Structures are given as C-alpha cells and as structure tokens.
Amino acid sequence: MELYDMHSHILPEMDDGADNVRVSVEMLKTLYNQGVKHICLTPHYYSHKESMEDFLCRRENCYNLLKPHIPNGIEVCLGAEVYVTDIIMNNQSMKPVCYGNSNYILLEFPYSTSFTGSSYDFLTRFMNYYSVKPILAHIERYDALINNPDLMEDLAYYGVKFQTNAVSYLDRGIFRKFKKLIRRGLIHYVGSDAHNMVRNSPSTYKKSFELISSKTSPDVVRAINHFSKRVFESAL
C-alpha cells in the first residue's frame, strides 16, 4: 500500500526544517523506501512575521532548489503549515497556502487554544470567509482536543479534519488516546512533521502505520489513505 505524508518540513533552507538539499533528499528517500510516495511540503507560514507574498516567493525559490533532485517515483504537492493569529484575516485569500489547488488548508493554532468561545468563533469565521476546509495539525499537542473527543466531534460536524504526527503513535500514552479518537472516526490524516533526520525523523513512518494496523484495524490505515488521497488528488 502506498502511503501519504500530509505534513513535512522538507523544503531546504525554508524554515526550521531541512538545512540544505542534501538533507531534503535524504528525507525524501527515507520516506520513499517505506512506501511513502506522495509527500506534502508544508513549511511554516507565520502571518504576523511575513507577508504572504514574501512567503510564497521564498517557498518557490526553495522548491526550485529541490525540484531537480526529487527522486523518481515521488509525487509532491506544495502547501503550508499556517499559524493562526488575528493578522491572518488581513489576507485577501488563503488559496495560495492551501494544499496545491485544493481548498484544504493545514492550520496550527497556539497550543493553549480551547477551540470554544472566541477561538471557536474565529475558526468558523475563518472557514466561511475564505471558503477553506481546515485540517488541524498535530492534534496531540492540544490538550483541549486530545482530551475531549466530544469537542472534536463538534468541530468535525462543521467540516474540520484532524492530522496526527506519525512519531506520536510510538508513545503508548498518546496512542491510547488516539485509539479512542479512531473508534469515533476522528483521525483523518497522518504526517511525519519531519524537520530533519533527527527531529521527528521520517525513518519510523512505516512502523507507525504498522502499529495502527495491528493495534486497531487495517481498515483504519485504508481510511487514512482514502482521506489523504482525496486531498492530494484535489491539490494537483
């Protein structure tokens, strides 16, 4: 089964991810050798630090550095891990930082976000104003979500999807919480969130999926791949 990586920091010289093309290629090859043939390149976009125009220019330059060296057999799409602040609403459109040509967007909120009250209102306003489909990055980092499946279910009802980091499945405590979410259909995507060969190393990606399959069901892996394929195909 071909796998998808929906969240990575593989673009060279772009953010706190890969330092150079050599590291980027090593990361890509490591994923490919585990059956990951579809990889989303999602560098950090901080709207309070940089204009979207400057971010997109940097991303294009970094992608052009990497593009000639992408190993055969790997399909990539460009996106961003978009950090959410009030300033982000100053952008005319979010389309350029969605996954490719899709309207799916990977969002990172402050980890203290409650996703209720004003933060819930902001999220729904963001979705409606920009006509985007949010994917919340590495949900295990938000106590308000990982400990409250009912809240996640409410968000999912309005179209929010959830991404987990592959390395987190190797932590038994986190995996126990994931299993509760999996039973309720609340985990949609997995990403390496790899920054290099050490930080969230991509080398254990396949092992994480093997654990998901053995500790829950192979159907869960198929479902995650189905959701990922849908995003990837709409991005191209």
Where residue 181 falls (left for φ over 0; alpha for ψ -120 to 50; beta otherwise) is alpha
Measure the CA–CA gap between 5 and 33, rounded to whole angstroms: 13
What local confidence, expressed as pLDDT, does residue 225 receive? 96
Residue 172, domain extent: 3-235
Distance from CA of residue 25 to its chain's centroid?
Answer: 19
What local confidence, expressed as pLDDT, does residue 2 receive? 85
Work out the number of other CB atoms within 10 angstroms of the CB of residue 148.
Answer: 15
What local confidence, expressed as pLDDT, does residue 200 receive? 86
Counted domains in the chain = 1
Q: pLDDT 10s digit of each residue in the chain, 236 long?
A: 789 999 999 999 999 999 999 999 999 999 999 999 999 999 999 999 999 999 999 999 999 999 999 999 999 999 999 999 989 999 999 999 999 999 999 999 999 999 999 999 999 999 999 999 999 999 999 999 999 999 999 999 999 999 999 999 999 999 999 999 999 999 999 999 999 998 888 999 999 999 999 999 999 999 999 999 999 999 98
Given a contact cutoff of 8 angstroms between Cβ atoms, the answer to whether 216 and 179 are in contact is yes
Angle, nearest 10°, between helix axes 218-235 and 205-215? 130
Q: Which two tokens stand for residue 225?
A: 């791949």
What local confidence, expressed as pLDDT, does residue 116 receive? 92
CATH number at residue 26: 3.20.20.140
What local confidence, expressed as pLDDT, does residue 1 receive? 76
Residue type, 219: D
Given a contact cutoff of 8 angstroms between Cβ atoms, the answer to whether 186 and 149 are in contact is yes
**Is the pTM of the predicted complex or chain greater than 0.85?**
yes
What local confidence, expressed as pLDDT, does residue 86 receive? 87
Q: DSSP string spanning 157-220?
A: HTT-EEEEEGGGGGSHHHHHHHHHHHHTT---EEE--B-SSSTT-GGGHHHHHHHHHHHT-HHH
